[in-house]
Amino acid sequence: METLIGSANSLPTLAVGVAAESRREEEAGLFAGRYQLRRVLGRGGMGTVYLADDEFQGERVALKVLDASVARNPGARERFAREARLARRITHRNVARVFELGSAQGRAFLTLEYVEGEDLRARLMREGALKPEVAARLALAVCAGLGAAHAASVVHRDLKPANVMLERGGRVVLTDFGIARAMEDQGSEGLTHSHGVVGTPQYMAPEQLTESPVDARTDVYAVGLLLHEMLVGAPAFEATTLKEAYARLRQPPPDPREHARVPAALAELVMRCLARAPEERPSGATEVARCLEAWLAQC
C-alpha cells in the first residue's frame, strides 16, 4: 500500500468508524457488480487491498479500494487515479499489471494482477541474509522492472522489500506505484514540497528528504538499499521517522565491505548506488543490471 508520511493516523474517529462500516459492507457481497471479495491482503493510509474473484473475467485479482473518508479528498482521488495511469504505461513481466480503474458505491477502485507468493520483506525476516548469487539475481529482476518503468518515464519513489513480490513460480514483481511520479511532471503538484514528503523513511533517497527533483537515480538508491539488506541481512538504515532519516544527509551509509561474506564487487556496487549525490550513482537501473550480470557471469 502507499505510504504517505503523516497520513496513516490522520483520520478523525468518526471517519475511521465510517470506513470500517464501509469495509464490512464491501466484504459482505459482490463489489461493483463483478468482484467477489475473498480476504484482505493489506490496509494502508488510503485504502484496502482485497483478494477478489472477477466474476466477469473468471480470474483472481487484487482489488484496491479507496477508503470512503479519503475518497472525499480531491488530492487523494487524483493520486489514486495517477497510480493507475502511470502503472498502465509499464508493460513488463517484472511489474504488476493494472487492469481496471473505476468507481462503485461512491468508492474509487482499481484492479491489478494478483501475485501468489510472498513479499521480499517476509523472506528477509524469515531467512536473514541471502546468498550473494540469490541476492544479485533478485536485484537483477528488480532492475529489469525498474528499467521498464524508467523507459516509460515513471519513477517508483517507494521501492522497498514490501513492494517486491516473489511469486511462487520464481518471478519477481514490482508493485505499488501509488506515489510514483512521471518524470515530465516534476513540480506539477505538491507531493514533493513542504509537508508533502512522501515515501518510507527507511528507504528514502537524500533528494526525497530535501524535496529536490527525483529521477531514475532515486530508484537506483533504493536498489542499493535492497541489495544491502539482502546481502547483510539487515537494513542499511533503521530510520522509522523523517527526523531519523535526515541523519543520512550527514552520515555515510554503512559499508557492506565490513561483512566478510559480501563479495567485494557487490559491496562496491551498493556503495555506488548509495552515493549521497545522484550524479555519483549509476545512471539508472539498466546500468546497475549490467554490473549485476557481469558479476553473475563470473560466478
Backbone angles phi, psi at 122, to 5 degrees: -65, -40
For 13-113, CATH gives 3.30.200.20
Task: Give the catalytic positions in this structure.
Answer: 158
CA-to-CA dists, residue 144 to 73, 169, 255, angstroms: 35, 17, 25
Give the pLDDT confidence of 81-125 residue by residue, as tens digits: 777 787 788 889 999 988 888 888 888 898 999 999 999 999 999
What the block records as the C-alpha cell of 60 is 483472481
Give the pLDDT confidence of 258-283 residue by residue, as tens digits: 998 999 999 999 999 999 999 999 99
Map out the domains of the chain as residue ranges. 13-113, 117-298
- What is the per-residue burial (b if ≥16 Cβ within 10 Å, else e) of 85-97? ebbbbbebebbbb
More confident residue, 168 or 70: 168
pTM: 0.82
Q: Could you tell me the pLDDT band of residue 14, with boundaries at 50, 70 and 90?
A: very low
Tell me which CATH homologous superfamily contains domain 117-298: Transferase(Phosphotransferase) domain 1 (1.10.510.10)
Residue 218 has pLDDT above 50, yes or no: yes
DSSP conformational letter for 255: P
What the block records as the C-alpha cell of 37 is 471479495
First to last CA, the chain: 36
